[in-house]
Amino acid sequence: MKVLVSVKRVVDYNVKVRVKSDRSGVDTANVKMSMNPFDEIAVEEAVRLKEKGVATEIIAVSCGLQSCQETLRTAMAIGADRAILVETDVELQPLAVAKLLQALLVKEGAQLVILGKQAIDDDANQTGQMLAALADLPQATFASRVEVADGRAKVTREVDGGLETIEVTLPAIVTTDLRLNEPRYVTLPNIMKAKKKQMDKVTPADLGVDPAPRLKTLKVNEPSARQAGVRVADVGALVAKLRTEAKVL
């Protein structure tokens, strides 16, 4: 069984994000980049499926600039067998990424696609669902547990009311939540081995996909600064502030 795993290169989660002076976007110049944490969980889950003998090949996919090769090398160091870079300098939005993944899904004949439920840069949480719709495949989002056997995937999902367990037939799309697993530490020997693994490059045109943006970012603002808390003398003063200042009573 082939497993396709999508990984995205994003600003490292430890970095404090800065907005550009012209408010056109986020400043990424000289900023540490890394694999999206949710996608790292997706790669780890695919590797665990292979270790169980369920998966036979893991293909890591990334879409974007040539620098995304670093992210793909990390995925192969974790355990992916080979990688595909869809190289483009166009601003990629969830719909375009979903179309690219759908084309690769058909081309590679994968039976399972695993990707993070969202990226920490745009928090869109759309690509997996759009891919399922385009490919007309069942989907299991926000997975906290995945079991694959006999051509079916049993997935425990995290929902507002608790946990929901569903079963989908393969091929299918699965998006990962934080509690699915804990990604393994990437060792130096595996990093060296990853450099020798196969990495193919294609363009959106090769896949017959137009990646042009459908949405336009008008302005990006930093969140408003939080006001410092104040001490009140008694309950009466607290109620008064809640009524007159916070206006929640």
Instruction: Examine residue 199 and state whether it is found in any structural domain, yes or no.
Output: yes
Instruction: Examine residue 226 and state whether it is found in any structural domain, yes or no.
Output: yes
Instruction: Examine residue 171 and state whether it is found in any structural domain, yes or no.
Output: yes
> What CA–CA distances, in Å, run from 44 to 4, 94, 129, 165, 185?
12, 22, 21, 21, 10
Give the type of residue at 59: I
Instruction: Examine residue 220 and state whether it is found in any structural domain, yes or no.
Output: yes
Q: Which contacts of 200-203 are long-range, i.e. CB under 8 A and separated by 24 or more positions?
A: 200/82, 200/83, 200/84, 200/85, 201/84, 201/85, 201/87, 202/84, 202/85, 202/86, 202/87, 203/86, 203/87, 203/88
* Number of independent structural domains in the chain: 1
- So what's the pLDDT on residue 21? 84
- So what's the pLDDT on residue 229? 82
Number of CB atoms found within 10 A of residue 203's CB: 13
Q: Within the chain, which residues score under 50 in pLDDT? A: none
Instruction: Examine residue 105 and state whether it is found in any structural domain, yes or no.
Output: yes
127: part of which helix (H) or strand (E)?
helix 127-135
CATH number at residue 60: 3.40.50.620
Instruction: Examine residue 72 and state whether it is found in any structural domain, yes or no.
Output: yes
Instruction: Examine residue 219 and state whether it is found in any structural domain, yes or no.
Output: yes
- So what's the pLDDT on residue 222? 83
- Its pTM stands at 0.86
Domain containing residue 146 = 2-244
Give the type of residue at 136: D
Instruction: Examine residue 249 and state whether it is found in any structural domain, yes or no.
Output: no
Place of tokens 């008064």: 240
